[in-house]
Amino acid sequence: MKQTLLIGAFLMASTFTFAQTGTGFGIKAGLSYNENGDLISSVGDAGQNIIDGAEGKAGFHFGFWGKLDFPKLYIRPELVFTRTQSSYTLDGSSTDYSVSKLDLPVLLGYKIIGPLHVFAGPAFQYTLSNDLDGVNIQDVENDFTLGLNIGAGVNLGRLGLDVRYERGFSENEAEFISDNITNIQGRVDSRPAQVIFSLSYKLSQGRAQ
């Protein structure tokens, strides 16, 4: 009986291992918790600058990935639509700042043991839009920016789960102005600093290396 259970467990583990190896591609989606850079604002023409750090809020992402698999390493490019959110205090009230962007991480992964793996790599980012809760805000200074992804994951059959940290390398500010009640102006840094939770599904099985 014990031998039968051991054989069954071995076959199941072998199936999972085969399913998660090999070159292929798939889809992914998930949630994130993000904090953008500082918001610097002033009231009136001679107002003193007020610096406010972001409060993190939840965002989301979805997209596609490909994988070139080797015995211990893999290369995984991704194309992902991402929407991040943060919150600032502007003129005494909470104001949400949201950014929509396309991310292209190019990850180098290392298989530790079984389905467990770690990865890191650059993330090329293109900002599509940014919105500061109804305030008149300009486009970000640089549409194209560069960041870093680093994380770990586990593969179970065609499913994959990973958690990663993303950080933008340089400030990328957008200027804003609001004169609905008082003349408030300033700039906000759209650079992301987020923890990302992802669920992926492998569509193409590919050939194991």
The tens digit of pLDDT for each residue in 68-77 reads 999 999 999 9
What is the pLDDT averaged over residues 64-86? 95
Model confidence band, residue 3 (pLDDT cutoffs 50, 70, 90) = very low
168 within domain boundaries? yes
CB-CB neighbours of 186 under 10 Å = 26
Ramachandran quadrant class, 124 (left: phi over 0; alpha: psi -120 to 50; beta: rest): beta
Q: What's the CATH code of the domain at 167?
A: 2.40.160.20
Residue 75 and residue 67 in contact, taking contact as beta carbons nearer than 8 Å: yes
What is the pLDDT averaged over residues 21-38? 89
13 within domain boundaries? yes
207 within domain boundaries? no
155 within domain boundaries? yes
209 within domain boundaries? no
What is the pLDDT averaged over residues 37-48? 73
Q: Which domain holds residue 160?
A: 2-202
Model confidence band, residue 17 (pLDDT cutoffs 50, 70, 90) = very low
208 within domain boundaries? no
| pLDDT score recorded for residue 42 | 80
pTM: 0.81
DSSP 129: E
Q: How many domains does the chain have?
A: 1
